[in-house]
Structure 1
Amino acid sequence: MENYESIDKVKFISVTGASGSGKSTFARKLCDSINSYWGIGTASVISEDEYYKCLKDLEPVQVGSYNFDNPLSIEHDKLLSDLEQLEKKLSIKINEYCFSSHSKLDTFKYIDPTKIVIVEGLFLLTNEHLKTKFSLNIFIDTPIDICLLRRIERDLKARGRDIQSISNQYRHTVRNALFEFILPTRQEADVRIDTSKSHNNIVRLLTSSILTDAFVS
């Protein structure tokens, strides 16, 4: 087992926002910025998407009516347990999730403890136990129409969906989840960012602020 004793404390950062807001892209960009400034292995990214519940045992009709746009569709207890393992400077193994089959794959991601762990996802701040872990909350506050366009492009290209199923899901569950679960957590954000506009300067400022807090405090 590798020695991570040089990490005095693991700090967690949440990146939340609507579906299609640009959470994943922003989280990776911030991680890359931190690592380029202080060295590879300073920061890492975990996606809440990997913690969707496996539906392989459900009938197709049950999967078709399943509400993925609800915090209950996520294994938040498992995510919390993994963050606690990282806090203890222990590596974690994440079972990768397939959006086409809505099931867990036979492949895994291995995440080693890093000084800064960025967690991105829709429902992170809806869980009372989970949100206590974050020392910084970033909300990606991108206009809803831009989010919808991005979601359509992503689901068509990356998830094998058709426009009718995307439209039905958006009207029946995605939009409702936005107003019921996601937008209310915006008030808990320390920073709000619109990724439809240039935000490179914000990434640099956040990188400097995060590293100052992580290495000086």
Structure 2
Amino acid sequence: MSKKPLIIGVGGGSGSGKTTVVKHILSGIGRNNIQLIQHDSYYRDLGHLPLSERKKQNFDHPSSLETELMIRHVEALKNGYQVDVPVYDFAAHTRDEKTEKVTPKEIILLDGILIFTEPALREQMDIKLFVDTDDDVRLLRRIKRDIMERGRDLEGVMRQYENFVRPMHLEFVEPSKRYADIIIPRGGENHVALEMVIAMIREKLAQIKKNNLASEG
């Protein structure tokens, strides 16, 4: 591993296609070279509340995430240390007792809808990508994901979208687009943009390796 990893952030609204962009980067650069960390892993544990109360929480507000822990983890990885990333249960809204051991790699890839809203996290990133997709497409994707992957019903998904997802997107996510270095319209469907991103990452990685070799010499 190079001494200084390349930190890449992939942000964008819920259902924008961030996962597809992340998969494309993993495939294009090589999974062995990349350590993926998802902001969703850092949701705060709500085990102290009854399940009925947990479901009412605003999971799209920055305060719902322990971003300060993620920042410490990114800093540790940059310095070559292993970290224990939380494992979150999206059906129960609690953290698992077990954690995921994460080791540093040449590229640290950060993924999440709110990763550009916190300055201290944003400043860790060398490249910031924002995936920009129409609201109706994002809503349909979120419905499918929450029902199939997170054990929720349609009524609950729609209520959460109307009360929290959309207003929080307008207040926090959409304004954070201005911090992006590159905006990717249509997400994973924009193959031209994705190929340009892969080329840029390869170039940045090569430059970092060159600088590290020079410093060793």
Using the size of structure 1 for normalisation, the TM-score is: 0.90
**Residue 9 in 1 paired to residue 4 in 2?**
yes
> Unpaired runs of 5+ in structure 2?
209-217
Closer, same or farther: CA 139–64 of 1 in aligned 2, 3 Å = same
The answer (yes or no) to whether the contact 2:37–2:109 under 8 Å persists in 1 is: yes
Cα distance in structure 1, aligned partners of 2:122 and 2:32: 24
3-state secondary structure, aligned to 1:126? coil
**Residue 21 in 1 paired to residue 16 in 2?**
yes
The CA deviation at 1:188 is: 1.3
The answer (yes or no) to whether the contact 2:7–2:126 under 8 Å persists in 1 is: yes
Report matched runs for 1:4-153 at 5 Å.
Answer: 6-35=1-30, 40-153=31-144
- Render the CA deviation track for 1:45-77: whole Å, top value 9, x for unaligned: 110000000101112342132111100000001
The answer (yes or no) to whether the contact 1:146–1:196 under 8 Å persists in 2 is: no
> Unpaired runs of 5+ in structure 1?
1-5
3-state secondary structure, aligned to 1:68? coil
The aligned residue for residue 213 of structure 2 is none
Report the AA paired with residue 88 of structure 1: N
Cα distance in structure 2, aligned partners of 1:41 and 1:57: 38
Cα distance in structure 2, aligned partners of 1:175 and 1:68: 12
The answer (yes or no) to whether the contact 1:31–1:44 under 8 Å persists in 2 is: no
Aligned residues: 208
3-state secondary structure, aligned to 2:59? coil
- Render the CA deviation track for 1:152-190: whole Å, top value 9, x for unaligned: 011111111111111111110100011000000111111
Cα distance in structure 1, aligned partners of 2:112 and 2:187: 18
Cα distance in structure 1, aligned partners of 2:82 and 2:195: 28
**Residue 195 in 1 paired to residue 195 in 2?**
no
Cα distance in structure 1, aligned partners of 2:155 and 2:172: 24
The aligned residue for residue 214 of structure 1 is 205
Q: Percent identity?
A: 28
> How much is the aligned-residue C-alpha RMSD, in angstroms?
1.5
Following TM superposition, the consecutive aligned residue runs of length 4 or more in structure 1 with deviations greater than 3 angstroms are none
Cα distance in structure 1, aligned partners of 2:105 and 2:201: 13
Report the AA paired with residue 183 of structure 2: R
The answer (yes or no) to whether the contact 1:15–1:121 under 8 Å persists in 2 is: yes
The answer (yes or no) to whether the contact 1:22–1:140 under 8 Å persists in 2 is: yes
Closer, same or farther: CA 215–102 of 1 in aligned 2, 3 Å = same
The CA deviation at 1:131 is: 0.7
Please say which of residues 161-170 and 200-209 is displaced more in the overlay.
Answer: 200-209
- Render the CA deviation track for 1:93-129: whole Å, top value 9, x for unaligned: 2121010000112333222111111101011111111
The CA deviation at 1:196 is: 5.5
